Amino acid sequence: MLTVEEALAKILDEVAPLGAESVPLLEAQGQVLAEDIISGVNVPPLDNSAMDGFAVAWEDTQGASGISPKTLTVIDTVMAGALSKKAVTPGTAVRIMTGAPVPTGATAVVQFEDTDDAQRKAAGQPDDEVNIYEPAKDGLNIRRAGESVAEGETVLRAGVTIRPSEIGVAASVGRKEVKVIRRPVVAVLSTGDELVEIGEKLPEGKIYDSNLYSIASLVQRTGCFARVLGIAEDNEKSLVEKLEQARDADLLITTGGVSMGDYDMVKDILDRDGEMVFWKVRVKPGKPLAFGKIKGRDGRSIPHLGLPGNSVSCMVSFELFVRPALLKMMGRENVDKPTVDAILEEDVKNNAGRRVYDRAIITRRDGSYYARLTGPQGSGILTSMTQANGLVLIPEENQKMSKGETVKALMLDWNEAYNI
Ligand code: AMP
Ligand code: MG
């Protein structure tokens, strides 16, 4: 039986980054940039003020203090987005707002707080003069043209994953669209005669189809489009019919129908209509994982991951095997889940002789991570996944790991809700 690493390597071998497309900037979040972005402008475009205050010739302020201010004549006001038509000459100042271009001749900006501007206003005195109380150094409070980005500079490189800061940088140089690796379209199909679509009445002996929803939302969270195909019955006709809608997808995920009893059906279809790469991985939960390829339209070959039907197993299998494949298709270099070393807070058994991934609650105290299990680890107990923020890895050769030992924990959720 394949190890987790062997199985993952086989899957990753069969998938490649998808092609690039141009998308509106706001749709690019989470995608990998497929071009270098070179600025056609200086940011900022002109020298501008970092403060609300007075643009002055710095020499005019030398020796200024509270008891012996320097008095300058105010010749103009310039707001952000406007240009002053006046030049600052010795003895003069221009009232200037943050972001406004610095007038010709000005070499520093003195903030309002270091002048008598507020007192004048309060006393209703004329504002055609200002007293400066502090000496300014050359260049004080002036942001230089091209200080953030110089024209011709590469601001973002192909290969980066686009986050809000990358979106902001692209916008700051005026980009409306960016070229990115396109998002995979992932067909998701549940199999099982026992399954009923949510919203319908539940006949005796049936269960609601939850896998379709947990898997489709994992697909979405990974940044892909989920094409929800619904439920196929446990017969060839129904399955083949449903698979028709997957023939132009980039990847197909099915759940169920791969354990001993049902396995032959999925296998028959893959054999006839595609190719089986492997079945079964030395892992718990999730042993009956099938990986193959089905024939798509126009001679395409679509990777197919047949996840186990148990609702926890299919989610864990997604994290271990599907997510890395999708990330590779999206052009990501690193496809590993964030992992921490955590100290076990209880003894953990492994009777399976397989690699075990137990659902766990990972917390941090005094700079160390700790892991405790969510409780019973039955692979159908989906509510346990709602308590878990990680999976602890118990190696295949360990029959037990004891409280106090350090384990690897794969972080499923890494956010402020868990205070880690
Ligand atoms: P299977 O792999 O098809 O043998 O299914 C294993 C177990 O998972 C059975 O108890 C199924 O009822 C359950 N199961 C299969 N598919 C789903 C699903 N889509 N939603 C919830 N449970 C499922
Ligand atoms: Mg089944």
Give the pLDDT score at 127.
92
Residue ID of nearest Cα to ligand 1 atom 5: 309
3-state secondary structure 299-319: HCEEEEEEECCCHHHHHHHHH
- Nearest ligand, CA 315: 1
363-395, pLDDT tens digit by residue? 999 999 999 999 999 999 999 999 999 999 999
In this model, does residue 418 exceed pLDDT 90?
Answer: no
231 CA closest ligand 1 atom index: 19
Question: Best substitution site from 189, 191, 206, 211 to test ligand 1's pocket, by max atoms within 8 Å of Cβ?
Answer: 211
Percentage of the chain lying above the pLDDT 90 cut: 92
- Nearest ligand, CA 311: 1
CA–CA dist 420, 413 (Å, integer): 10
Chain mean pLDDT for the chain: 95
In this model, does residue 264 exceed pLDDT 70?
Answer: no
User: Residue 415 carries which side chain, given as an amino acid letter?
Assistant: N
Question: Best substitution site from 191, 195, 214, 253 to test ligand 1's pocket, by max atoms within 8 Å of Cβ?
Answer: 195
Confidence of residue 263 (pLDDT cuts 50, 70, 90): low
> Tokens 């490649």 identify what position?
16
225-237, pLDDT tens digit by residue? 999 999 999 998 9
Query: Between the CA of residue 72 and those of 89, 94, 113, 125, 141, what are the distances in Å?
Result: 10, 9, 16, 15, 18
> Which residues, judged by CB distance below 6 Å to any ligand atom, belong to the binding site of ligand 1?
190, 192, 194-195, 207, 209-212, 255-259, 262, 308-311
- Nearest ligand, CA 260: 1
Give the pLDDT score at 268.
72
Give the pLDDT score at 95.
98
109-164, pLDDT tens digit by residue? 999 999 999 999 999 999 999 999 999 999 999 999 999 999 999 999 999 999 99
Give the pLDDT score at 251.
98
3-class SS shares of the chain: helix, strand, coil, % to 5: 25, 35, 45
Give the pLDDT score at 266.
76
Question: Best substitution site from 188, 207, 253, 314 to test ligand 1's pocket, by max atoms within 8 Å of Cβ?
Answer: 207
Distance 410 CA to ligand 2 centre (A): 28
Average pLDDT for residues 283-296, to the nearest whole number? 94
